[in-house]
Amino acid sequence: MKYVILYLIIINLYGIYIMYIDKKRAKERKWRISEKSIFLVALFFGGIGVI
């Protein structure tokens, strides 16, 4: 059970990280992270971090 909780924490932190990087790149008008990658993280239970 603790591995499931650890996994959920890590995947959501990763979701927060990629959303931060994507928004930062958008402001700088640079190449952004693809929606496919963002949705893939959300699919693997990282939806809270992506939001």
pTM of the model: 0.78
- The pLDDT, as a whole number, for residue 48 is 76
Note down the domain range covering 8: 2-50
Cα distance between residue 17 and residue 41, in whole Å: 11
In this prediction, residue 1 carries a pLDDT of: 92
How many domains does one find in the chain?
1
pLDDT single digits (tens) 1-51: 999 999 989 988 998 999 999 999 999 999 998 888 888 888 877 777 776
Integer Cα distance of 51 and 23 in angstroms: 12
User: Cα dihedral angle (23, 27, 32, 36), rounded to 10 degrees?
Assistant: 40
